[in-house]
Amino acid sequence: MYEEKVSLLANIAILMSFTVKIEDMPHEPIWTPNSPNTLVQGDNLSVLRELPDDSFQLIYIDPPFNTGKVQKRQSLKTVRSEEGNRIGYKGQTYETIRGKITSYDDSFEDFWEFLEPRLEEAWRLLKPSGTLYLHLDYREVHYAKVLLDILFGRESFLNEIIWAYDYGARSKKRWPTKHDNILVYVKDPKNYYFNNTEVDREPYMAPGLVTPEKVALGKLPTDVWWHTIVSPSGREKTGYPTQKPLGVLRRIIQASSTQDDWILDFFGGSGTTGHAAHQLGRKFLLIDKNKQAFDTMKTRFTNLLEAQDDAATVEFAKFRKRPVRLIEG
C-alpha cells in the first residue's frame, strides 16, 4: 500500500509538470559487522539489498526445492507413561505424543525468476575469499549449475557435493531418490579459503583394510557425504519441514570459514546454520520471511543459550522497508 501511494504521487507530479524526488530517510541498518548474532524476519531480497558488499565469508542457502507440493512435517515426542503402548528398557512403558503439523508451499510458477536476483546478491555479499553453498535436489540443480556458471564464472565452480541418506519411502517405478545436491562456488578461484583438515572426520567403510591408527582418526570426507537425516523423534528435531542435520552444516562451516567469520543463510528455516555456526565459534545472520520459521529459530536459540548458560546474545529483528519522503523540486 505504501509503495502504491508513492507511485500515485509521482504520477500526479508528472501531470502537474513538477518533479518529485524520493529520498531515503535516515534509519538504523538491519545489520553491520559489529552486530551480535542476528535473526531477521522479512523478505530476504529486501534485506539482502540493505547489506554492505564483501561482508560474509560463507553463504549457505537451502531454498525451496520447487517440488510442486505442500511440504508437511509433524513433530513426535516419546515420554514415559504407565498407559503407554510401547515397551522399552527394563519394561518401562512409553507413549508417543504427536505435535503440531508444520507446512509450507513448495511450488513456484517461475522458480528461477525468484532465485536469480538472490544469487546475484549472494555474489555481491561474499568476501573475496568467500564461498557459496547452494543446497538443492535433482529437480533444479542442473539449471542452477548453468546459472551459477554465468553469475560466478565457470572457473569459480569448486564442487558438487552429494549428500546421500537411506531413509523414507522407496519408489517401485524408478530408482529411489536418496540424495541432495550441494553446489559449491567461490567468489575468487585464486583466493578462496578451504581447509578440509578442520572438518569432522567419518569412519572408514572397510576398517580392516587400514591401520588401527587410521581407524581411530577416521577419514577425510570426499564429495559424497553419507549422513542420516534428522530423526523425526530425535532431540535435534525442531518440527520444521526439511530441517537439515547439524553434522552436514558443521562440515561446511569448518571447511570454508574460520573463527569469528560471519556466516549468512537467507533461507534460515529451522536455524541449523546458526546452530552449527555458534557451536564452532562463528557469527551468523539468518533471514526468513516465514513467521513459522522465525518462531522456530527464536525458540531454538533461546533454548540453546539457556541450556548452555551461554553469555552470547542473539538479536531478533523484524525487517521493515526503509521509509522515504517526497520532496518537491
Residue 180: predicted pLDDT: 94
The pLDDT tens digits for 87-139 are 554 556 555 444 443 433 444 457 788 899 999 999 999 999 999 999 999 98
In a domain, 176, yes or no: yes
pTM of the predicted model as reported, rounded to 2 decimal places: 0.77
**Into how many domains does the chain fold?**
1
The CA distances from residue 43 to 60, 103, 267, in Å, are: 17, 18, 10
Q: Is residue 222 part of a domain?
A: yes
**For residue 118, is it within any domain?**
yes
| Contact partners, residue 261, CB within 8 Å, separation at least 6 | 56, 57, 58, 282, 283
- Residue 164 maps to a domain: yes
Q: Is residue 237 in a domain?
A: yes
All 3 cell numbers of residue 200? 569432522
Gap between the Cα atoms of 250 and 215, Å rounded: 21
Residue 82 lies in a domain: no
| 26-30, 127-131, 162-166: range with lowest mean pLDDT | 26-30
Average pLDDT, the chain: 80
What is the extent of the structural domain holding 255? Answer: 25-68+106-328
Any domain includes 101 = no
In a domain, 323, yes or no: yes
Segment 210-256, tens digit of pLDDT: 999 999 999 999 999 998 888 877 888 888 888 999 999 999 999 99
- CATH number of the domain encompassing residue 154: 3.40.50.150
Which strand (E) or helix (H) includes residue 29?
A: none
Burial of 66 by CB count in 10 Å (0-12 exposed, 13-18 middle, 19+ buried)? buried
User: Is residue 2 predicted with pLDDT exceeding 60?
Assistant: no
Phi, psi (deg, nearest 5) at residue 8 = -65, -45
Average pLDDT over residues 265-288: 95
